[in-house]
Structure 1
Amino acid sequence: MEDHSIKVNFCSSEKEKPKSDQLQFGRVFTDHMFIMDYSAPLGWHDARIVPYQPLSIDPSAMVFHYGQSVFEGLKAYLNPDGEAQLFRPEKNLQRINRSNDRLCIPPIDEEYALKAIKQLVAIDKDWIPEAEGTSLYIRPFIISTEAFLGVAPSHNYKFIVILSPVGAYYKEGINPVKIAVENKYVRAVAGGTGEAKTGGNYASSLKAQELVANSGYAQVLWLDGVEKKYIEEVGSMNVFFKIDGEVVTPKLNGSILEGVTRNSVIELLKYWDIPVSERRISMEDLRQAHQEGRLEEAFGSGTAAVISPIGQLTWNDTDLIINNHETGPVAKRLYDTLTGIQYGKVEDPFGWIEKVREPSKVKS
């Protein structure tokens, strides 16, 4: 796009902000949002920050019928000096373009998108909660808006960013959760859209999640969609296992989403000289390691929960109790370090933090 300016239309009255101890995940939204349009002749254009409001979209917009959409998730945090900062936002923008490519959506300018996100966060900085463990969730997404009932890539899109103050994603927090291994339903297969962050992947996960939730499980452990024996993800998170002192995570295979937190965990483990590998892991391998006392820890990783320890896996009516239902030392160290870096309380040796300028410097 040639015009790199972002028009700003401030809201006439600010909404009441929720108390930090009453925050749920993704229920309340800030005063403003970012929108940019795409049309085939113009490309991406008309970038603007406007009051948060409903969208007006034609009922025949292609997103409603063919699911051509992608999204991302990242957070803004307050450091001890009261400054807003982001954690590795460039990785999310790189990934949304990989998702765009898979869904035949025109790429966005990553540098410009980061500028827009930072300006939006700066304007709504007062919405970043201050209580420990809270943050401002950032949801960029792209939807196809062409009014056409035909199976083809759309010629029109909207790129939108909304913000939501959030507390913990799982009520259990850093305490271990119970996970059911899913043998019937699958999340994705190689060659499909599993490595893209698109809504259909999450819609297809709801049935299995609903069934296990009724039995007291926090989530499901997804197996591969072909042989249904190799571990892929846990819920909407990447998954790690500590076996015989080595941390192992499923190798990216075309159906596993490459998580920003996953990448950060791997880099941290290497930095600490803790053995870590990416390889194919079967449930039978895991069962045997548990039976022999070699399965020491298990945890999921993702933007929303950061690190979520797993205390129990149920597979074929057998319960695999991990680390006596207690949070393991590696999971705890990873959680403390990642959140410490995100909140500016721990040294960032990797340059992962991106500061957000004060609102007074971006409103002019």
Structure 2
Amino acid sequence: MDLGIMERIKTAIVGASGYTGQELLRLLLLHPDVELVAATSRQEAGKALSEVFPRFLSLPGAELPFIEPDPDAIAATGASAAFLALPHGVAAEIAQALLKRGLKVIDLSADFRLRDAAVYKEFYGHDHPAPEMLDDAVYGLPEIRAKEIREAHLIASPGCYPTSILLPLLPLVKDGLIDAATIVANSMSGVSGAGKKADVSLLFCECNESARAYGVPKHRHLSEIEQELSIAAGEKVVITFIPHLIPVNSGIATTTTAMLRKGVDPDAIGEALEAAYADAPFVRLLGKGGCADTKNVTRTNFIDIGWTYDERTGRVLLMSAEDNLGKGAGSQAVQAFNILFGLTQTDGLHFA
């Protein structure tokens, strides 16, 4: 797209005052091809972005005031696209309203990630608010679904844990290199992954100098992980997933293990990853023996992936790291936005 002669893409963020919303603000205010025309927050309506987030002072566009999340008001700004950084169960209603008004929607909640409304109810505890829309949504993992993203009107941006687990696993499952029934994923996430809410368990004194597992045995993200692995395998896949909370602001480190299938050369693991991500600008392969470190990916859209093979147990070990607010949320959604509008995937992201 030749943006030298085209206007910037008018864009809205719905739910812009949370951690993910703030990350979207940072990225889109600096994006060379975006004009941010609306940012919504019920709590902050009427205040300028820079008043709520002083870090944005002096940035072009930071004087924009927060508005109420009214679909007519958002559409009246001329926005072509909207990012939804809202809780699950809330996003679906406004997504419907904005789609009817001609906007393209990139939803960062879980409302449209699952293809089966019954699975949504099982994992999220209530009926899906718009089951008739599930077939229209594209699961927005850019490295896997770029073609579908280009043609989409509704993109369901993946969860943070699923991104860290799926990108290392999908090429191996698709090629039949590992026994999918033996997959065990252990993830550690920074506290920002729990969202910006008042919760005693998330207070500094409760989290600092501590680490704990939570959400076992059926964390909500397990549903989309199993869905995407099942699609890649061509059969139902059920795995064990154990998330942990660690005392850092952001970042996810995941170690996933699975049995190598009999007769498979362990070096085929590295070859499959290289083949899958040779042209993926935000996947950095660390090779055999490489251990991903969150300090190298926080505040970026990169995911680092290393692997090794344990001859004693016959297990493949996959190590990945990403920023849960970046590649696991805001910047990955912007990457999908870039694909959707025919931009270069790295626009506004390489030095994010």
TM-score (norm 1): 0.25
Higher strand share: 1
Q: Which has the larger radius of gyration?
A: 1
Higher helix share: 2
TM-score (norm 2): 0.26
